[in-house]
């Protein structure tokens, strides 16, 4: 699966750097990297489910083991895998159920996969969260890493919260209100700002 680099990345970098001195410093520290999508909806959503509520490093290890069972990460490969094999990768029983149900939804055609590219962000989120195991955070990862939407702000993401606390609030925990207020300066490139903040704390942030 080929890597997809957002066409807007260069413009977004320039505008963020000109508005926000903190963001300018982070962007300068990572001059030749960008968010990279993989283009496959099932793969992106399955990867996001794996990453729910665990560290990037732990999610990466589980994902690598999962690819030994489903090398192409196709819905049919997951739907026909057994519980013990999937759990042996480090997945909880609940996450196995979520990925199974996602695979079955993709195979049955109950998800409007072909329509998502033409829907606005909130309509895509509303469609995705109907699937068991996909909450708003997972849907937001899909918007960012599959549909490459430029202005997503995943307020419940712990990495984003930690980075904002570190860079903008001297390590003091930050509320959702102040996160939203701070992020106004990043519009319409909040996905890009979020990705750079992740990158600043993780040597290799997840690419979903």
pLDDT along the chain (208 residues), means of 10: 78 98 96 83 92 88 95 94 93 94 90 90 94 92 94 95 95 94 98 96 64
Name 89's Cβ contacts closer than 8 Å, sequence gap at least 6: 62, 65, 66, 68, 69
Record the pTM.
Answer: 0.85
Between the alpha carbon of residue 140 and those of residues 83, 124, 157, the distances in Å are 27, 9, 10
User: Rounded to an integer, what is the distance from CA 124 to the centroid of its chain?
Assistant: 14
Between the alpha carbon of residue 50 and those of residues 4, 37, 118, 152, the distances in Å are 21, 16, 26, 20
The residues that bridge with 80 in the sheet, in sequence order, are: none
Whole-number pLDDT of residue 205: 57
Whole-number pLDDT of residue 157: 92
Packing angle between helix 9-19 and helix 190-201, nearest 10 degrees? 80
Residues 155 and 180: beta-carbon distance below 8 Å: yes
What CA–CA distance (Å, rounded) separates 130 from 80? 23
CATH code, 41-145: 1.10.340.30
Options 2.40.50.140, 1.10.1670.40, 3.40.50.300, 3.40.30.10; CATH of 9-36+152-201: 1.10.1670.40
Whole-number pLDDT of residue 206: 59
**CATH 1.10.1670.40 domain extents, the chain:** 9-36+152-201
């Amino acid at each position: 699966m080929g890597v997809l680099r957002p066409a807007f990345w260069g413009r977004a970098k320039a505008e963020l750097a000109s508005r926000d001195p903190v963001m300018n410093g982070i962007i300068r520290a990572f001059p030749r990297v960008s968010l990279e999508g993989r283009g496959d909806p099932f793969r992106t959503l399955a990867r996001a489910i794996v990453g729910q509520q665990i560290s990037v490093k732990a999610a990466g290890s589980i994902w690598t083991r999962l690819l030994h069972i489903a090398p192409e990460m196709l819905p049919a490969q997951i739907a026909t895998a057994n519980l013990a094999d999937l759990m042996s990768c480090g997945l909880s029983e609940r996450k196995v159920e979520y990925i199974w149900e996602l695979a079955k939804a993709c195979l049955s055609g109950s998800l409007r996969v072909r329509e998502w590219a033409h829907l606005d962000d909130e309509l895509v989120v509303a469609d995705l969260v109907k699937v068991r195991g996909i909450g708003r955070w997972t849907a937001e990862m899909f918007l960012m890493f599959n549909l490459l939407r430029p202005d997503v702000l995943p307020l419940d993401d712990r990495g984003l919260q930690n980075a904002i606390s570190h860079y903008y609030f001297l390590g003091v925990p930050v509320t959702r209100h102040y996160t939203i207020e701070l992020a106004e300066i990043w519009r319409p490139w909040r996905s890009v700002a979020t990705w750079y903040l992740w990158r600043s704390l993780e040597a290799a942030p997840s690419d979903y």
